[in-house]
Amino acid sequence: MKRQTSTRTIPSLSQIVPFDVLDEARLHRLVAASRLVRAERGEVLIQADEISTCVHVVLDGEVRCLLLAPSGNEKLIRIAGSGEIFGEEAALLGRPAMAMAMAARNTRLLHVPVALVREAMATVPSFAEAMTTRLAAASYEMMLHMQLCIQLSSTQRVAQYLSQLAPEGVEQAEIHLASDKQTIAAQLNLTPETFSRVLSRFVRDGLVTPHGRRGLVLDNLPQLRRAASQ
């Protein structure tokens, strides 16, 4: 993992939520104190139980956050892509990370000192509100994920996942899967074989049509949403 400290190589945070609400002077101070990190695919960025002193901002690439069982099995709990942040909850609390973070492909990250993030939250109300909203949204998303994995059948999980990728109120939509089927199956707490079997059934029933490598046309969203709720 390569680290760079020259601020000339560090992109601005001005386009990344929640840093986009900060003024130029505050952004410059954060960037000047941050480090650019280049990680290759498979590199571990955070170890479980590690106490981090920074908030991780993904500039480009992809990071997977994983829970590890004593048996060595991994449970994918989140994927952080370009423009997203991760590890902020443990860093802000000063507590050990609950999950391991690993680069899913070659990735550039910005390590923003958590002390300066706390300072900005204390002095800029709009930033504190944006960060609080983000943390609340992440908590809510985690609860939805738990509900999906615990309460829903495999058919319901896949139907809900696909439905959520489409705009509200439409009856048909073309979508693009951001990850491969194996990764999506892990997110839904399914085996790849089960995910493929459910998807194939949706294709046979006329609910979904494959379109390209990762593209899908959701031909009957009302019925797909009913499948998610039944």
Sheet with 215-218: strands ordered across: 173-176, 215-218, 208-211
Distance CA 140, CA 52 (A): 23
Q: Are 104 and 44 in contact (CB under 8 A)?
A: no
- H-helix or E-strand spanning residue 65: strand 62-68
Three-class SS state of 136: helix
User: In 10 A of CB 125, how many CB atoms?
Assistant: 10
The residue assigned the tokens 């943390």 is 135
**Per-residue CA distances from 42 to 37, 50, 80, 165 (Å):** 14, 18, 14, 27
Q: Are 64 and 104 in contact (CB under 8 A)?
A: yes
Three-class SS state of 34: coil
Three-class SS state of 21: helix
Distance CA 10, CA 192 (A): 38
Domains in the chain (CATH in brackets) are: 2-127 (2.60.120.10), 151-229 (1.10.10.10)
Distance CA 110, CA 13 (A): 9
Per-residue tens of pLDDT for the chain, all 230 residues: 655 544 444 567 888 999 999 998 999 999 999 999 999 999 999 998 999 899 999 999 999 998 877 766 778 888 899 999 999 999 999 999 989 999 999 999 999 999 999 999 999 999 999 999 999 998 888 887 777 777 789 999 899 889 988 888 888 889 888 778 888 888 788 888 999 999 999 999 999 998 888 889 999 999 999 998 87
